[in-house]
Amino acid sequence: MGRTTVLQQLLDAGVVAVLRGVPTAALPAVVDALVAGGVTAIELTADTPGVHDAVAAVAADDRVTVGVGTVREPSQIADLVDVGASFVVSPICDPAVVDAAHTEDVPTAAGCRTPTEVHVAMGAGADIIKIFPASVATPGLLAALRATLDPPPLMPTGGISPTTLGDYIEAGAGCVGVGGSLLAGTDPSDPDPDRIRSAAEAHMAALTAARD
């Protein structure tokens, strides 16, 4: 799949599940629970032990779009794409990371919080602007960025919950990144699929309501 196709899949999905520290052995149950709840975009963080095996395992599931987050070094990207990552997310705005992702023909989300960082990310050609951390970035910030800079799709991440998700979508977010709220307080090393499914359903209900 090319960059444009994957980008559209992420925007259509609306919610990107950010999985940090989930063991590879537990991923099938977690992914099943997320998909059952309507979440089909999965971001595995690069700092998770065994991330290459984890990406390969999830990439074999054709129900989901899988990528890698917490990417800070351009040198990480080629190997991750080789094992199945179809998008890259970074917590920082580094044009070299954007370039490396585009060399592999995968879309990238550059981490930004200020208008200057968004401007730099746009100049680098980032496909998505990750507004991070969303816990300190109000929906009003997204609306202002869209009004003044006309950026590519915005993806607020960090601190999103079903209660706040709709406000970000209504402010113009193309999609949202959600981590702990989707794991529903369960231990990443021993996740509870039923609670994860219920959490996924709650997030997707909030997304649907905001997009209607």
> Annotated catalytic sites, by residue?
43, 130
Write out the two tokens for 200: 């996924």
Mapping DSSP to helix (H, G, I), strand (E, B) and coil, where does residue 178 land?
A: strand
Q: What is the per-residue DSSP string for 16-70?
A: EEEE-S--GGGHHHHHHHHHHTT--EEEEETTSTTHHHHHHHHHT-TT-EEEEES
